[in-house]
Amino acid sequence: MAVQIKKGRALGALNITPLIDIVFLLLVFFLVATKFAEEERILDIPMPSASHANALAVPPQPLVINITEDGRYYVHGKFMDKKNLALVMLEVSQNNPLTQSVLIRAHRNAAWQSVVDAVNLCLLFDIQDYSCVTDDSGT
């Protein structure tokens, strides 16, 4: 006795007309948006010139703090005690609020307190983008 399988009609009743309408509308939207974006760049507008202006989109260079084995701080190759380091960090945090980054490079045998003090100064001056750099060579 052969088994008869009834095929459903659900697939046959699926109406894809609204889906085609949506795809067509999206295509028209992107074509129109691209055309407007082109027109904004094509307009011939004489721009003012500035001889000493810097680009605003350039992110600030990270402040690199080197900590020696005996816990001494060096910034830009110059020795700094904790007070001078705080002044430098205050200055960079005021010049670049919310965008200043700090890289802390400590000798592997440096006292952990020196690293913690550098991190505390970052937090004191609201520098959220700080990191401790490690050597990934495995030695």
Nearest 5°: CA angle at 138, between 136 and 139?
120
Position 44 pLDDT exceeds 60: yes
Q: Where are the domains of the chain?
A: 63-133
Q: Identify whether the C-beta of residue 73 lies closer than 8 Å to the C-beta of residue 66.
A: yes
According to CATH, the topology of domain 63-133 is Nucleotidyltransferase; domain 5 (3.30.420)
List, in sequence order, the alpha helices (H) in the chain.
Answer: 17-42, 82-95, 112-124
State mean pLDDT over 21-50.
75
Buried b (16+ CB within 10 A) or exposed e, 55-90: eeeeeeeebebbbeeebebebeeeebeeeebbebbe
Question: For the segment 49-101, what is each residue's pLDDT rounded down to a tens digit?
Answer: 766 766 666 677 899 999 999 999 999 889 999 999 999 999 999 988 888 99
Mean predicted lDDT score pLDDT of the chain: 82
Can you give the pTM of this predicted structure? Answer: 0.57
Q: How many Å apart are CA 40 and CA 54, to the nearest integer?
A: 24
